[in-house]
Amino acid sequence: MEALLVLEDGRVFEGRSFGAQGETTGEVVFATGMTGYQEVLTDPSYAGQIVTMTAAHIGNTGVNEIDPEAERPYVAGFLVRSYTDDYSSWRARTALAHYLREHEIVALADIDTRALTRHIREKGALRAAISTETDDTEYLLNLARTASPMEGLDLASGVGTRQPYTWSQGSGEWAGIASPPPRLHVVAYDFGLKRNILRKLVDHGAHVTVVPVTTTAEDVLALKPDGVFLSNGPGDPATLDYAVKHIETLLGRTPMFGICLGHQLMGLAVGGSTFKLPYGHHGCNHPVKDLSSGHVQITSQNHGFSVAAESLPDDIEVTHRNLNDGTVEGLRHTRYPAFSVQYHPEAAPGPHDADQLFTEFVRLMEQERER
């Protein structure tokens, strides 16, 4: 059945529905990774966003039980160039379309995703409406224009856990290693946490307590953590002033590691500011330079906001830069045991080049414990 995507600037794309029926709105972003659509769909950082995959064929390997990054998909909508129901993978359990319908995700195929990507590249991320039910473009245009803009939107509190829980499962068979017995306790703020971060922490010898975004610094410290982890998540970091306050308090009192939104929050907590990138970084091929070693990592990225380098105080060192656009990719506190990266060392999807950051976090925690 024919379906429509209408962007807030009036541009219309035609497609074919292959997910749930209905309509949806969100900010359209493009993701350039060629593998890992299951991870993308279930990454809570995509909450509120309609994701278009630039890879030509999506759904080829079906859907399996191991690859999701959360218990359900978080994207507001899903756009692809070519989808067929046939899939092939020894791990697959069902077809992608079935999974999307089950989770009520509106998805369109046969979209000219390249034209859409070029459009977003020129115009920046745009709000949009998708419908599988109406061809009334005026109505959809209005819907797109009345959708909430990403700036000023607190989505993290909506997707993070409401209740604390503990996690002790590692990567298991896929990493080819058994997880070591836990020797460190990490408390992780859940702004929209990806499962693979938890698995990686466990792989590196941690036992994790996941806490809601509203948890106070005192409550966190009461858990006697060896370190605090600040997770990835969706939305505008500037809206999370309550979380920033907790982080300010925790800085210097416990080792801290932030990823993605967690990195932006750390930037805010030390007095920096964040800004919205024109169309964000969403993919698996971004070169990031470690400024101390000169080494280049190919990184997995998914963010629409960035920390402004010039806003950072003197006791903060910029440790990593994106080689495509020069934006800040990593921070280190020169006085406190705290660091953060904008990209995703846990990958899923993406390359494993930055895995040693988890080792670095462990090293900080062990150093701190010895003191």
Partner 1 sequence: MPKRTDIHTILILGAGPIVIGQASEFDYSGVQACKALREEGFRVVLVNSNPATIMTDPEFADATYIEPLTVESVSRIIAKERPDAVLPTVGGQTALNLAVALHNAGVLDEYGCPLIGASVQAVEIAEDRELFKQAMARVGLPVARSGVAITLDEALQIVKETGFPAIIRPSFTLGGTGGGIAYNIEEFRSIVENGLDLSPTNQVLVEESVIGWKEFELEVMRDRADNVVIICSIENLDAMGVHTGDSITVAPAQTLTDREYQRLRDMAVTVMGAVGVETGGSNVQFAVNPRDGRVIVIEMNPRVSRSSALASKATGFPIAKIAAKLAVGYTLDELPNDITRETPASFEPTLDYVVVKIPRFAFEKFPGAQPNLGTQMKSVGEAMAIGRTFAEAWQKALRSLEIGRGGWGADGKEGIDGERLREYLITPRPERPFYVRYALQSGMDERQVARLTGYDPWFVAQFAHILHLEGRLRAFTLDTVPPRLLREAKRTGFSDQQLAMLLHAKPEAVRAKRKTQAIVPTYHRVDTCAAEFPALTPYLYSSYETESESDPTDRPKVIILGSGPNRIGQGLEFDYCCCHAVFALRELGYETIMVNCNPETVSTDYDTSDRLYFEPLTLEDVLNIVDEEGQGLALDPARPSPNIAVIVQFGGQTPLKLARSIEAAGVPILGTTPEAIDLAEDRERFGALLREHNIPQPANGTATSFETAVQVVQRIGFPVVVRPSYVLGGRGMAIVYTEDELRKYMREAADISPDHPVLIDKFLEDAWEFDVDAVADSEDVVIAGIMHQIELAGIHSGDSAAVLPPSMVPAEHLQTMRRYTVALAKALNVVGLMNVQYAMKDDVVYVLEVNPRASRTVPFVSKASGVPWAKVAAQVMTGRKLRQLGFTEEPVIAGFHVKEVVLPWSKFPGVDTSLGPEMRSTGEGMGSGETFGEAFAKAQLGCNRDLPRGGAVFVSVNDADKPNVVPIAREFAALGFRLVATGGTADYLAQHGVHADIVFKVNEGRPNVVDLIKNGEINLIVNTPLGQASFYDELAMRRAGVQYGVVSITTLSGAEAAIEAIKALKSGAWTVRSLQEWHALSAGLRDDQQPIT
Q: CA 262 to CA 247: how far, in whole Å?
A: 10
- Among 71, 146, 162, 174, indicate the residue that binds partner 1 (CB under 8 A): 174
- Nearest Cα neighbor of 213 from 253, 152, 158, 268 is 158
Interacting residues with partner 1 between 82 and 101 (CB under 8 A): 82, 84, 86-91
Binding of partner 1 by 159 (CB under 8 A): no
Binding of partner 1 by 239 (CB under 8 A): no
- 259: helix, strand or coil: strand
Tokens linked to 54: 């630039």
Binding of partner 1 by 13 (CB under 8 A): yes
CB–CB of 256/228 below 8 Å? yes
Which one of the spans 51-59, 129-137, 162-170, 309-317 is the region binding partner 1 (CB under 8 A)? 51-59
* DSSP element (H, E) containing 158: helix 156-159
Q: CA 337 to CA 334: how far, in whole Å?
A: 8
Binding of partner 1 by 124 (CB under 8 A): no
- Among 9, 22, 23, 64, indicate the residue that binds partner 1 (CB under 8 A): 64
Distance (Å) of CA 331 to CA 150, 281, 284, 310, 337: 24, 18, 21, 13, 11
- Among 296, 315, 334, 367, indicate the residue that binds partner 1 (CB under 8 A): 296
Nearer Cβ to partner 1, position 286 or 303? Answer: 286
Binding of partner 1 by 295 (CB under 8 A): yes
SS (H, E, C) 46-64: HECEEEEECCCEECCCCEC
Nearer Cβ to partner 1, position 86 or 370? Answer: 86
Q: CA 304 to CA 261: how far, in whole Å?
A: 10
Which one of the spans 76-84, 133-141, 220-228, 258-266 is the region binding partner 1 (CB under 8 A)? 76-84
Nearer Cβ to partner 1, position 336 or 358? Answer: 358
Nearer Cβ to partner 1, position 223 or 277? Answer: 277
Number of residues that bind partner 1 (CB under 8 A): 53
Catalytic residue among 281, 282, 303, 344: 344
CB–CB of 30/279 below 8 Å? yes
Q: Is 260 a catalytic residue?
A: yes
Query: Per-residue b/e over 312-339, b at no fewer than 16 CB within 10 Å?
Result: beeebeebbbbeeeebbbbbbbeebbbb
Which one of the spans 26-34, 100-108, 184-192, 336-344 is the region binding partner 1 (CB under 8 A)? 26-34
Q: Is 344 a catalytic residue?
A: yes
- Among 347, 354, 357, 365, indicate the residue that binds partner 1 (CB under 8 A): 347
- Among 127, 200, 263, 286, indicate the residue that binds partner 1 (CB under 8 A): 286
Using the Cα atoms of residue 84, residue 85, residue 86 and residue 92 in order, give the sign of their dihedral. Answer: positive
Where along the sequence are the contacts to partner 1 (CB under 8 A)? 13, 30, 32-36, 38-39, 54-57, 60-61, 64, 66-67, 81-82, 84, 86-91, 112-115, 117-118, 121, 174, 283-287, 289, 294-296, 298, 323-324, 347-352
